[in-house]
């Protein structure tokens, strides 16, 4: 790849510049003249060096030149062009490589003029292990060749529902390997006909393998073949007077028939994704429905940012580019709007190494899938718009209650930033503080922070509050960071006084501090707001929209603090469980934890696996196993 940069004089746009024109000191003609007719990625950059927009191109010269025409269709892009100080391009070997580079840059830079989709965690899979008696399990992470993986599924519920079906119909085991290898009698799942009991030798390896084969066929959508196979074997067993075997197969056939009857989107054995876009009120929703093996696994709604002035086709194209660049590509993608980039399917296929067919006008059952996905997109968008409207009303109410005087200023309300602090511990153990952020009328989880509190007397909440506020705001007081408009403290007069002292020492405005004191009986709706600057306490009442917002932020700070505290406490206690075992010193404990990735892995390990760790004898491994079980 090769970089080409176009750099203006001082990078400052002229004051007489009109919308859609680049800065006058950006020599557009000479820059465009040196661009090649090759695929690549371009970046629009402002005078501060911030990348405002990233795009890909089949032909860099034609694509970049199109931005500097007089008529720009998108007001958002025209607005961006008034701020362009320079353009940088990177030549790539192919369009697929340009697509990959574009997505990497969008994810790492989050340009303010690109349509952005939240980078979700990896999707869950159903895992079929490669053992002699394979285990079915929920799985999220990197796949390998040692096991079989089915999916991806849109959510954890869809995976667990499929596991429940496989248990009920094919009776495959779900127990951990350590449990399976150490049982002599079958568990409760065998008693309720959810497992065939391979742990106790109640089914042979060949028969279990046949159940696994039928389960695999079912997951791949070959349901009719599975039904026919079960029916044939049932009649054969009946004619050979193996009536118990025939009864088991009969139950399988009946259970599978009921499952298939409940499937509302049966049709075809191929993997299909259905993508529908709905737009309203300056917001967009992309609804993704996943169909695997003819079974509808569920829907997932995405709400991109920076969609003002964009068309549904633009949003759809951005979703396809960003979503499938690093995820499994189905054989068919059904879309609600035609794509402007006809080569997108080819670029995705080249990057993924598999073919994909993008359907714009589906027929038959796929048409009904698309109609349902479009309806779900509209419903999800309507729900979000209602929630956003309600949240904005709560922000207005809080501004009025606190006398901020910004109720009529939409931009000021949008930028209003609140930070809330809470302290959590168990009888002084594993004290942890949390800081959560409310900004742009919504909680901002990416900006949350946890603070491990140390060097204080256990249970001293005032000292913990002093420590976390000092650590949080001493850098901001020195000019490094953004100061919030309101700082909420979960606590009464004592906590607020501690916060006031910290702010006074740091030279910060104590008027920003607001305590949230619990009411009589700690009932929600009876909270009182306490101010550090001497204002009288304020009781808003249970029906107050402002108090609803304060309670929402306070509860989120409490949740975030207590989950962190529990994790820290569990980590401390878990390590101590190893320390209590005779013969386990610091080195052996470190080796065990490193080998198995933490205490959970040590607990899951068998005696033989524990004994394979350097310095752990078979006798010691047996003691460790007994102590942890």
In a domain, 200, yes or no: no
The whole-number pLDDT of residue 426 equals 66
Give how far Cα 424 sits from Cα of 100, 195, 362, 453, 486, Å.
Answer: 43, 42, 54, 10, 21
The percentage of residues in the chain with a pLDDT greater than 70, rounded to a whole number, is: 87
369 has a pLDDT exceeding 70: yes
The whole-number pLDDT of residue 265 equals 44
Give how far Cα 405 sits from Cα of 393, 410, 484, 487, 513, Å.
Answer: 15, 12, 16, 17, 17
Q: How many CB atoms lie within 10 A of CB 627?
A: 13
The whole-number pLDDT of residue 83 equals 87
468 and 350 in a single domain? The answer is no
CATH at 375: 3.30.420.340
Q: Name the pLDDT band for 258 (thresholds 50, 70, 90).
A: low
How many residues does the structure list for the chain?
A: 629
The whole-number pLDDT of residue 209 equals 92
377-390: average pLDDT: 87
456 and 313 in a single domain? The answer is no
603 has a pLDDT exceeding 90: no
576-580: average pLDDT: 64
497 has a pLDDT exceeding 80: yes
In a domain, 336, yes or no: yes
Element (H, E) at 568: helix 545-579
- Whether the model clears a pTM of 0.85, i.e. scores above it, the answer is no
Contact 464, 453 (CB under 8 A): yes
In a domain, 151, yes or no: no
In a domain, 601, yes or no: yes
In a domain, 66, yes or no: yes
349 and 421 in a single domain? The answer is no
In a domain, 391, yes or no: no
572 has a pLDDT exceeding 60: no
Work out how many domains the chain is built from and give that number: 4
399-425: average pLDDT: 89
443 and 563 in a single domain? The answer is yes
560 and 607 in a single domain? The answer is no
The whole-number pLDDT of residue 6 equals 59
343-367 pLDDT per residue, tens: 788 888 877 677 888 888 888 888 8
The residue among 382, 408, 432 that closes a domain is 382
422 and 562 in a single domain? The answer is yes
Q: Name the pLDDT band for 480 (thresholds 50, 70, 90).
A: confident
Tell me the residue range of the domain where 584 lies.
Answer: 580-628
The residue among 568, 597, 614 that closes a domain is 568
Q: Name the pLDDT band for 569 (thresholds 50, 70, 90).
A: low
In a domain, 213, yes or no: no
Contact 501, 519 (CB under 8 A): no
For residues 490 and 500, what is the distance between their CA atoms, to the nearest angstrom? 14
498 and 426 in a single domain? The answer is yes
159 has a pLDDT exceeding 80: yes
40-56 pLDDT per residue, tens: 999 999 988 899 999 99
In a domain, 266, yes or no: no
The residue among 523, 543, 568 that closes a domain is 568
Contact 272, 330 (CB under 8 A): yes
The percentage of residues in the chain with a pLDDT greater than 90, rounded to a whole number, is: 27
562 and 618 in a single domain? The answer is no
442 and 328 in a single domain? The answer is no
Contact 86, 46 (CB under 8 A): no
CATH at 64: 3.40.1440.10
9 and 37 in a single domain? The answer is yes
Least confident of 107-111, 229-233, 432-436: 229-233
267 has a pLDDT exceeding 60: no
444 and 352 in a single domain? The answer is no
CATH at 618: 1.10.150.20
361 and 463 in a single domain? The answer is no
């Amino acid at each position: 790849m090769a970089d080409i940069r176009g750099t203006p004089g001082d990078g400052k746009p002229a004051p007489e510049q009109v919308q859609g024109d680049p800065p006058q000191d950006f020599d557009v003609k000479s820059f465009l003249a040196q661009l090649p007719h090759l695929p690549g990625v371009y970046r629009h950059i402002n005078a501060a060096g911030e990348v405002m927009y990233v795009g890909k191109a089949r032909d860099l010269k034609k694509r970049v030149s199109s931005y500097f025409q007089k008529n720009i269709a998108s007001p958002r892009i025209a607005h961006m062009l008034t701020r362009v100080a320079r353009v940088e391009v990177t030549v790539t070997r192919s369009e697929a490589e340009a697509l990959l580079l574009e997505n990497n840059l969008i994810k790492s830079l989050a340009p303010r003029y690109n349509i952005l989709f939240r980078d979700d965690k990896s999707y869950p899979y159903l895992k079929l292990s490669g053992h002699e008696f394979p285990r079915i399990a929920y799985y999220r992470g990197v796949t390998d060749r040692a096991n079989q993986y089915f999916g991806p599924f849109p959510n954890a519920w869809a995976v667990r529902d499929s596991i429940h079906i496989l248990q009920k119909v094919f009776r495959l085991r779900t127990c951990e390997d350590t449990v399976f290898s150490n049982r002599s009698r079958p568990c409760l799942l065998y008693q309720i006909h959810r497992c065939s009991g391979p742990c106790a030798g109640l089914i042979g390896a060949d028969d279990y393998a046949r159940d696994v084969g039928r389960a695999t066929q079912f997951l791949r959508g070959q349901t009719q073949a599975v039904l026919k196979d079960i029916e044939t074997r049932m009649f054969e067993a009946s004619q050979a007077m193996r009536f118990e075997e025939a009864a088991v197969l009969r139950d399988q056939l009946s259970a599978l028939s009921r499952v298939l009857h409940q499937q509302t989107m049966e049709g075809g054995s191929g993997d299909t994704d259905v993508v529908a876009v709905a737009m309203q009120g300056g917001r967009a929703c992309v609804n993704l429905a996943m169909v695997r093996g003819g079974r509808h696994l569920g829907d997932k709604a995405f709400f991109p940012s920076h969609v003002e002035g964009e068309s549904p086709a633009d949003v759809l194209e951005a979703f396809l580019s960003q979503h499938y660049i690093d995820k499994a590509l189905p054989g068919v993608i059904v879309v609600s709007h035609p794509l402007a980039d006809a080569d997108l399917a080819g670029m995705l296929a080249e990057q993924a190494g598999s073919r994909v067919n993008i359907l714009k006008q589906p027929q038959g059952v796929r048409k009904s899938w698309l109609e349902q996905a479009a309806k779900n997109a509209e419903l999800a968008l309507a729900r979000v718009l209602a929630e956003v409207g309600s949240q904005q009303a709560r922000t207005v109410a809080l501004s009025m209650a606190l006398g901020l005087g910004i109720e009529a200023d939409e931009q000021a309300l949008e930028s209003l930033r609140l930070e809330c602090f809470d302290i959590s511990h168990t009888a002084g153990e594993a004290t942890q503080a949390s800081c959560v952020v409310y900004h742009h009328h919504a909680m901002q989880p990416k900006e949350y922070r946890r603070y491990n509190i140390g060097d204080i007397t256990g249970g001293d909440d005032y000292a913990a509050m002093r420590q976390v506020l000092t650590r949080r705001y001493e850098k901001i007081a020195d000019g490094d960071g953004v100061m919030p408009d309101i700082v909420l403290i979960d606590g009464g007069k004592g906590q607020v006084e501690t916060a006031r002292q910290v702010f006074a020492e740091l030279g910060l405005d104590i008027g920003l501090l607001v305590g949230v004191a619990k009411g009589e009986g700690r009932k929600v709706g009876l909270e009182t707001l306490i101010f550090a600057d001497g204002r009288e306490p304020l009781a808003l009442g249970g029906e107050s929209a402002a108090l609803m917002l304060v309670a929402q932020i306070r509860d989120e700070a409490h949740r975030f603090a207590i989950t962190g505290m529990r994790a820290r406490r569990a980590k401390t206690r878990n390590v101590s469980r190893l320390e209590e075992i005779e013969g386990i010193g610091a080195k052996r404990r470190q080796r065990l934890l490193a080998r198995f990735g933490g205490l959970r892995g040590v607990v899951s390990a068998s005696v033989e696996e524990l004994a394979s760790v350097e310095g752990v004898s078979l006798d010691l491994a047996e003691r460790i196993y007994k102590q942890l079980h």
